[in-house]
Amino acid sequence: MNPKLTRRRFIKGVIASGAAATTTAAWYSATGQERPSGFVERLVRINVNGQVRNVDVEPQETLASTLRYKLGLTGTKLGCNRGECGACTVLVNDVPTYACSVLTHSFKNDRIETVEGLESANGDLHPVQQAFVEELAPQCGYCTPGQIMSAVGLLRENANPTRDEARHALAGNICRCGSYDSYLDGVMRAVELIG
């Protein structure tokens, strides 16, 4: 089916029924239509790594696109863009989330953290980062930011996980280099570093 046709048919349909929708506020003022409630504004404020950022976000935009292409936070990787690899894992209110498979608009009131936000103000690595360095956990490194975010999410929730709990917490992060055991070593070392 041609998406454009559907769209045109739809827009025509809703205009007729009095519930118009479009992506820009300007359209409403231009047509004099009343905006239906619940419709999203494009200009949003999102809290990323402790900073509130104003961004123009399209309604369908994924969080990964906003982070990578609008905010330049390219530490968040795209391995599949489909929820099947974990390279894009970020924390939303401390909860590991696939940034490729959520909408930025869903998180306007939430705390988003990426790998770039983990170092302390004086440049010290986060204990998980430090532990991953000490264990030389990364190989190619492409999955590493995602593994780190999953590990940080785990440790915030459970400061003293067993190796098996760590394995389950990192289960949603593929490593094609097969560095799984080293990442688990890293998590267990991070537990020690945090003390």
Partner 1 sequence: MVATSHDVMPDIELYQPADEATALDLASRLGNEGWLLGGGQDTYGWLKDRNKNPSAMIELTQIDAWKGITETVDGIEIGAVTTLTDIARDPLIQSRFGLLAEAAGIVASPQIRNVGTLGGNLIQDTRCWYYRRGLDCYRAGGNICYADSPEGLNREHALFGASRCVAVTPSDTAPALVALDATMVISSTSGQREIPAQDFFVGPDRDILNMTVLNEGEILTAVRIPNTWANAEFYFEKVADRNVWDFALVNVAAAFRTSGENIEDARIVCGAVECVPRRLQDVEAAIRGRSRSDSTANAVADMATAGARPLNYNNFKVPLMQNLVKRAIRG
Partner 2 sequence: MAYMHIGKDFTPPDVPGKVTGRIKYAEDYTREGMVYARLLTSPIPHARVLDIDASEALAMDGVFGILTADDVYPDGEPQSTGLKILTNEPTLVGEPILALAAVDEKTAETAIAAISVTFERLPFVLDPLDSLAEGGGNAYPGDTNTFVFRQGFATEKWTADQVASFRAGNEPTAEPQQTVEYGDLEAAFAESTYVYEGTFTNAGYPHMSMEPRSALAYWENGKLYLHGGSQSLTAFADGIAGIIGVPKADLVFINEATGGGFGQRARAGSVPVYAVPAKLSQKINRPVMMRATREEEFTIGGARQGLTGWIKVGFKPDGVMAACDLWIVSDNGGKGGGADAFSAADCISVLYQTDAVRFRGTAIGTNTAHRGAQRGPGQNQIAPIISPIMDVAADELGVSRFDIRKINTPMTGDVGGPQRIPFTSAYMPEALEMAGNNLDGMNVNHVVVSKTAAKW
Ligand X SMILES: Cc1cc2nc3c(=O)[nH]c(=O)nc-3n(C[C@H](O)[C@H](O)[C@H](O)COP(=O)(O)OP(=O)(O)OC[C@H]3O[C@@H](n4cnc5c(N)ncnc54)[C@H](O)[C@@H]3O)c2cc1C
The DSSP string of 40-64 is: PPSEEEEEETTEEEEEE--TT-BHH
CA separation for the pair 190, 182 (Å, rounded): 12
Which residues inside 101-120 make contact with ligand FES, applying CB under 6 A? 101
3-state secondary structure at position 174: coil
> Which of 70, 139, 165, 194 is the binder for ligand FES (CB under 6 A)?
139
User: Could you tell which of partner 2, ligand X, partner 1, none binds residue 74, using a CB distance below 5 to 8 A set by kind?
Assistant: partner 2
Q: Can you list the pairs that 164-170 forms with residues at least 24 positions away whose Cβ atoms lie under 8 Å?
A: 169/96
Closest CB 176 distance from partner 2, rounded Å = 5
Output the CA torsion sign for 126, 128, 132, 137: negative
User: Could you tell which of partner 1, ligand X, ligand FES, none binds residue 22, using a CB distance below 5 to 8 A set by kind?
Assistant: partner 1
Instruction: Rule CB under 6 A: say whether 171 interacts with ligand X.
Output: no
Which residues inside 54-83 make contact with ligand X, applying CB under 6 A? 83
Which amino acid belongs to residue 132?
F
Structure tokens at 163: 């190796």
User: Could you tell which of partner 2, ligand X, partner 1, none binds residue 119, using a CB distance below 5 to 8 A set by kind?
Assistant: partner 2
Instruction: Rule CB under 6 A: say whether 87 interacts with ligand FES.
Output: yes
Instruction: Rule CB under 6 A: say whether 84 interacts with ligand X.
Output: yes
118-162-113 Cα angle (round to 5): 20
User: Could you tell which of partner 1, partner 2, ligand X, none binds residue 72, using a CB distance below 5 to 8 A set by kind?
Assistant: partner 2
CA separation for the pair 149, 67 (Å, rounded): 15
Name the site residues for partner 2 (rule: CB under 8 A). Answer: 2-4, 60, 69, 72-82, 84-85, 87, 114-116, 118-119, 125, 129, 132-133, 136, 138-145, 148, 174-177
Name the site residues for ligand X (rule: CB under 6 A). Answer: 83-84
